[in-house]
Amino acid sequence: MPVISAPHAFNEGDLFVDLASICGYPLYLKCEAFNFAGSIKLKAANEMVESAERDGILTADSVLVESSSGNLGVALSMIAASKGYRFLCVTDSRCNLSTRLLMEALGSEVHIVADQDGNGGFLGKRIDYVRSLCASDDRYVWLSQYTNAGNWLAHYRTTAPEIARRFPQLDVLFIGAGTTGTLMGCARYFREGNRPVRIVAVDAAGSVAFGGEPGRRMIPGLGMSMRPPLLDESLVDEVIRVEEPDTIRMCHRMARSGFLFGGSTGTVVSGATDWLSRNEGRDLTAVAVAPDLGERYLDTIYQTNWLHDLYGDEVLDPDAGGGAVQTNTPAREPKSASRAPARRRTT
């Protein structure tokens, strides 16, 4: 094992779980949460902070500020504490209590936005608040995970090569869609390598990331209430949207086998299992990316009263699932992949 002096110096990137006995299809799950931040967001956070430091945007008196539903906020809290920066996370009421407490324990300030935007989400209001802070004081530095190319570069440089080394004959890759940093980084890597890997994006039902009507989303992590600025749909072969009850059932299904994963992972695995069942997936080499573990969801996804209040008493019935909705994504001209730097002020 390595000896480290900074928490972000450790991140286990080569752990895969064979889910065949759970899902009924050969599916390998790349586990990204074995680091001190507890999620895949450590990679993007580290890339964006180091880039801002190289560019001279972050200084000793800077105050990092970022909009996050939770996991990136934890990763930035950890890095800020390690490097001596102040950090303010702008989140909303869907953020898990344990996640908020964890950020505060690391010395960060947490601001909770209560008002929804026009698409029924909180993202627009969170970004408005961040912009108002940056306009009020030059010390605030917004890394802007939604536009910062460091978000996808982190996965282009690490996540995708880790998958390619372990599975040289990979057929299909399932990746959850939030800011689309992981999705775009992996998709670009495999496209530029001329590898015939099918890229399937897994989105939360009610998200408008790939179009469609907005809907209620109570599980933080995947999904967006606006089109992700980083998204290039020409790099995506298919989109699958997963209903939240199916996410919950998959989380509990994996937990019954001893694997406690988070909501984003449950969504990705549910979508992947449904896709494999409809596409003769038994002869394919398939990998899904697991962004998080389940400890931060103990008071939501794994809490019976919370589940019944929001989804009804039958939410855990294995026969109640409606299945994922598949969308074929039309090819588009690739957009520019140039670097969007962190910004000190936003107007």
pLDDT at 139: 95
Domains in the chain with CATH codes: 7-34+156-324 (3.40.50.1100), 41-142 (3.40.50.1100)
pLDDT of 12 higher than 50: yes
pLDDT grade for 246, boundaries at 50, 70 and 90:
very high
pLDDT at 334: 36
Contact 170, 163 (CB under 8 A): yes
**Closest of 178, 164, 143 to residue 291, by C-alpha:** 178
pLDDT of 335 higher than 80: no
Q: Which strands make up the sheet holding 198-204, listed edge to edge?
A: 16-18, 28-31, 286-290, 172-176, 198-204, 238-242, 325-328
Count Cβ atoms within 10 A of the Cβ of residue 228 and give its class: 0-12 exposed, 13-18 middle, 19 or more buried. buried
pLDDT of 337 higher than 50: no
| Cα–Cα distance for residue pair 274/321, rounded to 1 Å | 11
pLDDT at 110: 96
| Cα–Cα distance for residue pair 9/121, rounded to 1 Å | 34
Q: Where are the alpha helices (DSSP H) in the chain?
A: 20-23, 41-54, 71-83, 97-105, 123-136, 150-157, 159-166, 181-192, 244-255, 263-278, 304-311
Predicted TM-score of the model (pTM)? 0.90
- Comparison of pLDDT for 117 and 300, the residue scoring more: 300
**Closest of 289, 268, 146 to residue 202, by C-alpha:** 268
Find where tokens 């389940």 sit.
Answer: 294
pLDDT grade for 338, boundaries at 50, 70 and 90:
very low
pLDDT at 268: 98
Contact 94, 264 (CB under 8 A): no
**Closest of 45, 68, 92 to residue 342, by C-alpha:** 45
**Closest of 92, 97, 104 to residue 298, by C-alpha:** 97
Count Cβ atoms within 10 A of the Cβ of residue 168 and give its class: 0-12 exposed, 13-18 middle, 19 or more buried. exposed
pLDDT at 319: 66
For residues 274-290, give the mean pLDDT: 92
C-alpha torsion 277→278→282→287, nearest 10: -80
pLDDT at 297: 94
- DSSP conformation letters of 38-65: -BTHHHHHHHHHHHHHHTT---TT-EEE
* Tokens linked to 1: 């094992």
pLDDT at 345: 38
pLDDT at 121: 73
pLDDT of 253 higher than 90: yes
- Comparison of pLDDT for 297 and 116, the residue scoring more: 297
pLDDT of 134 higher than 60: yes
The strand pair at 325-328 and 198-204 is best described as unpaired
pLDDT (tens digit, 9 = 90+) per residue, 81-126? 999 999 999 998 888 889 999 999 999 999 998 877 766 678 889 9
pLDDT of 2 higher than 90: no
Angle at 75 between CA 11 and CA 5, to 5 degrees: 55
What sign for the dihedral angle of Cα 3, 4, 7, 12? Answer: negative
Find the range with the poorest average confidence among 28-42, 301-315, 329-343: 329-343
For residues 292-303, give the mean pLDDT: 94
pLDDT (tens digit, 9 = 90+) per residue, 169-183? 999 999 999 999 999
* Tokens linked to 105: 């324990």
Find the range with the poorest average confidence among 32-46, 144-158, 309-323: 309-323
pLDDT of 331 higher than 60: no
Mean pLDDT score across all residues of the chain: 90
